[in-house]
Every structure is written in structure tokens, then in C-alpha cells.
Structure 1
């Protein structure tokens, strides 16, 4: 498969699949699951995902502002540390939830968590092994994403980047297309053990 198809065609195909899958799920008459309390792992995923998503969105929306912010080594280190903490929290939460689904026999949900986890781990590898992930993101990924948004795809910088960065970006796009079809499952609420009727009931007095 040529690079032009990988970087210039597949992102739009994934976006169309996401749109179609989202519409199909919205129009499908599925019974709404009753709300359940957040587990510690679920809260960890929410916190980690919020940090990671916020940093990605800020870099995409205001790359020059983030570049100015990163001009200070202290601020750059702070930003990198915050992003790494968010990614590690997200990884731990996804691993915990995936293992729980596997123990409960919900293999489809376990695979869905594993796919997302593998994507997050590529980002962790970039942050740890290559360092300065925010710089890679601003100078390589953001120009590519903006070119896609303007319908003038240009993957020149991305194609020259290390393979792990290309895999991270393409895996994100693939997950975007698969998102409407991933089933993460729901942890059933724990109910108290049933009690045999009558054992705890007060006997009714018989009238003569």
C-alpha cells in the first residue's frame, strides 16, 4: 500500500466510516442502560483522557501559542511531565478495565480496551524514547492534521518522521474509524445475594 493511500486517503475514509457509524448508532433503537457508579479505574481513564485530549486539542488549535509556551525549558518540562502523567493514568485505567472485562468473559470489550491501550502506549513510547513529544506533535503531526482539515493533505513531514510516530498517527485515525463499532461493555451492578422467601419474614398470626 503506497504512502499516498495511507496518509491521504485512509483518513477521509475513516472519517466517513465514523460519520456513518455514528448516525447508525444514533438511529438504532437500543435500550438505554441504567447509569452505574464510576469505578476507580473509570475515573482514572477519564482523568488521563482529559489531560491527553486537552493537550492535543490546544496544540492543534493554537500551535504558535504552545510553541511560545515551550520556549522556556521549565515550561516545556512541565508540559511534557503533565502529558506523560495523563498518558500513564490512561494506560493504567485501560489495562485495569480490559483485564476486568476479560475475567468476566466480555472478550469483545477486552479487545476494544486492548486496541485503545496499544495506541496510548505508542504515544508513551514517543514521549519517553524520543523525548519532547509536544515538539514532535507541533512540528510534524499538527501540520499534517491541518492539511487534512483543509482538504489539501500533505504528509511530507510525517513521512520523514520516525516510524513509531507514523504508527501512532495512523493508529489514531484507524481508531477514529472503528470508534462507533467498539463495544466496551458495562459492568453489571452487584446485587446482594438472594434470600429465600419467608426466612426473614415475620410469621403472620393465624386467627382462630
Structure 2
């Protein structure tokens, strides 16, 4: 069992390295197929699994309740389980479809402002030790990704038929918020930081 992948090696700077950091690898010898195959599972589930080994429940067929953060691998896990239900923060969820946030001048400007905001937060954390540490400045924006609401959801306006089966996708709802992953380099020291932020567009503020 491994708790995480590389955090500081060159591999961490690649997409594969990012996936390996947050997706632990666990090997187990088994004689039967687990009911958790092809389901979203997390390191938190190891606790419930070990508890089942200590106290094997009589019922091993009922689908488990997603309101619990830790689910046993020996019992059925819902096939529609989400990262939010599993207690996995958006920044670490590998099931989501992230978009490039550097593709347009507007995206680049937003990402640049978010990067500056991150450096500001770091300096705020260091304010009591600035007599020992240099104040950081943004040297380079290395990358930015964003996660926005589903396009189909934003276009949904109503239904076209009386039975409610045919959707009317002529809506033009504006995105109210987006989640961002920002990767940057600071100076002095050339340290690399990666941060997750939620940007509330209609209120013009964000939080990390």
C-alpha cells in the first residue's frame, strides 16, 4: 500500500505525476471478485474495509449509504458515487473534466490575477516571520485549469413537450462560479506552488 505518489520529483510536473500523487496504489490478494470494481473508491475506504475484516457483517449485498465518507470494499459501492460524497475536495478529484484556463486573453488575465492572489495569501501567512523570510513575488504562471458547470445544464431552459421528455436547450444562463487549479513559480527561491480556488464570478471574489 502506498499513501501517495511523487510530490517533489520532476514527474510531479506532468499530468501522469499529478494523477499518481492523489491516486494511491493498493495491492491485495483475493479469491473472489470485490463488489467495488469499477466504482469510485478512496483511501478513506480502507478504514471501513479493515473494520469489516475485524467484524464481518452478515449483510454483504446491500448497497452502502453514500452519506458515509468511508465505505467498505467488501460491500457494494454505488456506481454513481461522487467525489463530494466521498469527501474528496474538487482539487484532488480525478473524475472531473478540467479545461485549459490559458486559451484566451480573458482566461489568461483571470488566471494571472488568481496567481497574484495566491502569492498574496502566502505572504500573509508569512507576515510574522518576514524578518527571517523574503517577501515572495510571482515569477511565472506555469499553468491553469478550470472546472465550470456542465454546458448542457447552463443551456437548459425548460421542456418542449407536455410530457417533459424533450428538453429546451435554448437557455443562456451565465456561469456564476468556477473552480481553478493554478500552478506558479515564485521568487526568490524559484519555489513551485499549486493551489485550488473557487471563483465566484457574480460576486467578483474567490477563496482558496
Q: TM-score range by the shorter chain?
A: under 0.3
TM-score of the superposition, structure 2-length normalised?
A: 0.24
TM-score of the superposition, structure 1-length normalised?
A: 0.24
Structure number, greater radius of gyration: 1
Q: Which has the higher helix share?
A: 1
Give the number of the structure with larger relative contact order, counting CA–CA contacts within 8 Å between residues 6 or more apart. Answer: 1
